[in-house]
Amino acid sequence: MSETLLSARNVTKSYPMGRRTLEVLRGVSLDVARGDFVALRGASGAGKSTLLHLFGGLDTPNSGEILLDGKKLALLSDEQITILRNRKVGFIFQAYHLLPELDALENVCLPARMARTDSAKAAARGRELLKRVGLAERMDHKPTELSGGEQQRVAIARSMINEPELILADEPTGNLDSHTGAEIMELLCSLRDERQVTLVIATHDASVAARAPKVIQLVDGVIAT
């Protein structure tokens, strides 16, 4: 049996919305084994992105537990979670979240610099990753000088810079046309196979979910059975 890397145990999450409460997750439990490729599929508002944020320690559940690499995130300090996330997790966001004042290489190297990796070593690895994602000639370009597909390639390279065990991708093709989206998924799957990382993708797109061996359907904050 494969070792579990990521677990959610009866997780709930809600947000106050004026006089009412919006229940986003209503008792989600699942395990992701090391090396798994899992797609979280569901309509907008089903709780996919919220669950990814909880998995990566970007948010905290109202109840239940999140465990990453055997560690209960609720028992860690903010600093400990930040260090764990920086070392173990790579994020890919739908909106890319690249810093506009930095060029592609600088954006890719940012997590490595935060991890206090030697600057020359970080830059060498960043160049290698940008070449791998097809941006060898665009390393000194800033986000405004790149297409949406190129920005997402930068974001993928950035997610890999610290050699994480887990990649969390939130609608990685959501802002792209179908052709570019298919290219991005092909690239992401190839990199996953090459580097043997665990991949969890949140998507509403059936064609994206179909790439994953394991698909989990979220409906109104619960896992559909």
Domains, the chain: 4-223 (3.40.50.300)
Report the alpha-carbon distance of residue 2 to residue 34 in Å, rounded: 7
For 110-138, how does the pLDDT look when each residue is reduced to its tens digit (9 = 90+)? Answer: 999 999 999 999 999 999 999 999 999 99
Residue-level pLDDT at 146: 97
Report the alpha-carbon distance of residue 218 to residue 50 in Å, rounded: 11
Residue-level pLDDT at 195: 87
Report the alpha-carbon distance of residue 169 to residue 89 in Å, rounded: 10
For 28-85, how does the pLDDT look when each residue is reduced to its tens digit (9 = 90+)? Answer: 999 999 999 999 998 888 899 999 999 999 999 999 999 999 999 999 999 999 999 9
CB neighbour list of residue 209: distance below 8 Å, 6 or more residues apart: 39, 41, 201, 203, 215
Predicted TM-score (pTM) of the model is: 0.93
pLDDT confidence bin for 2, thresholds 50/70/90: low
Which residue shows structure tokens 């298919």? 182
Mean pLDDT to the nearest integer, 75-96? 93
Report the alpha-carbon distance of residue 55 to residue 160 in Å, rounded: 17
Report the alpha-carbon distance of residue 40 to residue 104 in Å, rounded: 29
